[in-house]
């Protein structure tokens, strides 16, 4: 790949990862049904962030369990049974939904 192609791919990948984080935040927003289900199952969400390193990106969920125990979980954007495809229009939303469901621990 040329330097321009590498830069374009990196920019597309970063935009995809950002969209995935936005999707997780939307699905787990304060008044969202999945957020309520998560809280009924004893998990309270404190924060969601995106961390990038060495070709991976992870959604990091900071939570508190019903007994007060803090819990941090990390969910890779790219390491599913079938990794998301940058060229599919709704792939970031699908990845976000999979991560949100994993966070809820339902």
Domain boundaries, the chain: 3-104
Three-state SS string over 75-98 comes to: EECCCCCCCCCCCCCCHHHHHHHH
pLDDT in tens, 71-93: 999 999 988 777 788 888 889 99
The number of residues making up the chain comes to: 106
Q: Where are the beta strands (DSSP E) in the chain?
A: 43-53, 56-65, 70-76
Say if domain 3-104 classifies as CATH 3.30.160. yes
Name 11's Cβ contacts closer than 8 Å, sequence gap at least 6. none
pLDDT in tens, 44-61: 999 999 999 988 999 999
pTM metric for this prediction:
0.89
**Pairing of β 56-65 and β 70-76:** antiparallel
């Amino acid at each position: 790949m040329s330097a321009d192609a590498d830069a374009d791919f990196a920019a597309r990948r970063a935009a995809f990862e950002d969209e995935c984080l936005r999707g997780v935040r939307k699905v787990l927003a304060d008044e969202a049904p999945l957020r309520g289900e998560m809280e009924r199952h004893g998990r309270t969400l404190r924060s969601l962030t995106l961390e990038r390193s060495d070709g991976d990106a992870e959604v990091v969920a900071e939570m508190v369990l019903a007994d007060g125990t803090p819990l941090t979980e990390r969910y890779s954007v790219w390491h599913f049974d079938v990794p998301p495809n940058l060229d599919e229009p709704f792939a970031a939303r699908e990845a976000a939904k999979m991560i949100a469901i994993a966070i809820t621990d339902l």
